[in-house]
Amino acid sequence: MNINRAALKENMTGYLFIAPQFILFLLFLVYPIFEGARLSLYKINYQKETFVGFDNYIKLFSDPVFVKSTINTIIFVVFIVALTVLFGIFVASAVFDKNAKYVSFIRGSYYIPVMVSMVVMSMIWGFLLNPANGLIPFVTREMGLPAVNFLGNKDLVLPVIIFVTFATNVGQAIILYIAAMIGVPKDLFEAAEIDGASRMQVIRQILIPSVKPMTVYITIINIIAVLKIFVVIQLLTGGGPNNASTTLMYFLYNNAFKYNQLGIASAVGVIMFTITLLLSIPQLRSVLKND
């Protein structure tokens, strides 16, 4: 006990330093998680909360829009993350060993969309794709081509959103991959050159394995980011046509703020939190293993 007290006294300064962040963490992250879980078991209206057990969850799983939202979210996660990782590796491996100015130019070019607000990007794409008065449909009409409604066709709307999100986010992956590739020891490349390895072999046998931790990191942060995809849906398609592009986050937003179904929205939040937590475990384990 005395040892503990002495140790506590000794480390008090450290604890005080982390206290502000820790308290904020508890208030704004830990507490909402518990409160969200509690609310998911209630039916809430303006005047009262009624305990309904797992009714909200049962309702969710029998709601076709929720099922559609879950499937769409999985599609977005798989395709956007895969495209981001593949294209990131492709661009980074092509330029990382080139002239420093050229690398900076490429890095800057791909990073600009990341800096532009997703709201602005979505609005610009909206102006381009609006079927009645957008630029792209206008040009296709003028050229006598058949009119295609990119935002209103249930088979095209997902690829369009995947492309828009991927194009906006890929810059970050490129920056991270270039940084990781520049950090790969030069002697590995020299040895490969002496052994007569081709560029493809260097990329496959040296570069990709060397940047594996970065790939894990990029995959995890992108999965978490794409799970929360919302702005582009809200501004570009409104979840349509007929819920073809709705996602879990958009479904949660609609229930919480449009339909005022806070219990249902909280249940969606709990499900999303669980998925994110499960996906984060590998990353957490790899970090702990390194320690």
Partner 1 sequence: MFKGRLFRKLLLLALASIVLVGCSDKDKDKGSKGSEKGADGKVQLTLWLTPQWEGVLDATENGASYDSFFKHAAERFSEEYDKHDVEIKVEVVASDQRDELLNVNLNGGTPPDIFYESVFAMGEYAHRGALVPLDDIVDDEAKSDIGETYWDNVTFGDEVYFYPFSHMPGTLTYNADMFKAAGLEDYIGEENEIKTWTLEEYETILNTLKKDLPKDEYPGAYPMALYALNNQGDTWNLAYLRMFGNEFFDEDGNIVLDDANGAKAANWLKKIYDEGLTNPGAESVSSNDTIAMFQNQQLGINFTNSVLFNNMKADMESGKSPKFDARLANIPSESGKPLTFTYVTGAAVFDTGDETKIQVSKDFVKFFSSDPELVKSSKNGVPVRSSVVEQYTDENPLFAAYDENAQYVFSFTGNVPGYNQLRQVLYPELQALYTGQKTAEEIVKDYQEKGNDIIKESKEDSVIFQ
Positions in the binding site for partner 1 (CB under 8 A): 3-4, 7, 22-23, 26-27, 30-31, 34-35, 45-49, 130-133, 137-138, 141, 147, 149, 151-154, 237-243, 254, 256-260, 262
Name which of 188 and 256 has its Cβ closer to partner 1: 256
- CB under 8 Å to 262, separation ≥6 — which residues? 39, 44, 255, 256
Residue at token pair 């270039």: 178
Query: DSSP readout, 255-280?
Result: IIIIS--HHHHHHHHHHHHHHHHHHH
Name which of 155 and 195 has its Cβ closer to partner 1: 155
- For the bound state, the minimum distance from the C-beta of residue 240 to partner 1, rounded and expressed in Å, comes to 5
DSSP code for 50: E
- For the bound state, the minimum distance from the C-beta of residue 157 to partner 1, rounded and expressed in Å, comes to 9
Distance CA(85)–CA(216), nearest Å, equals 10
Name which of 15 and 102 has its Cβ closer to partner 1: 15
Distance CA(217)–CA(239), nearest Å, equals 29
- For the bound state, the minimum distance from the C-beta of residue 113 to partner 1, rounded and expressed in Å, comes to 23
- For the bound state, the minimum distance from the C-beta of residue 271 to partner 1, rounded and expressed in Å, comes to 20
Name which of 26 and 284 has its Cβ closer to partner 1: 26
Name which of 163 and 217 has its Cβ closer to partner 1: 163
Strand partners, 44: 49
Q: Which residues of 54-83 are buried (b: 16+ CB within 10 A; e: fewer)?
A: ebbbebbeeeebbebbbebbebbbebbbeb
> How far apart are the two ends of the chain, measured CA to CA in Å?
28
Name which of 258 and 289 has its Cβ closer to partner 1: 258
- For the bound state, the minimum distance from the C-beta of residue 135 to partner 1, rounded and expressed in Å, comes to 12
Name which of 113 and 131 has its Cβ closer to partner 1: 131
Name which of 54 and 257 has its Cβ closer to partner 1: 257
- For the bound state, the minimum distance from the C-beta of residue 270 to partner 1, rounded and expressed in Å, comes to 16
Distance CA(58)–CA(235), nearest Å, equals 30
- For the bound state, the minimum distance from the C-beta of residue 255 to partner 1, rounded and expressed in Å, comes to 10
How far is the CA of 146 from the CAs of 126, 127, 138, 140, in angstroms? 20, 19, 11, 7
- For the bound state, the minimum distance from the C-beta of residue 51 to partner 1, rounded and expressed in Å, comes to 14
How far is the CA of 291 from the CAs of 144, 210, 219, 288, in angstroms? 63, 19, 21, 5
Q: From its phi and psi, is residue 242 left (phi > 0), alpha (psi between -120 and 50) or beta?
A: left
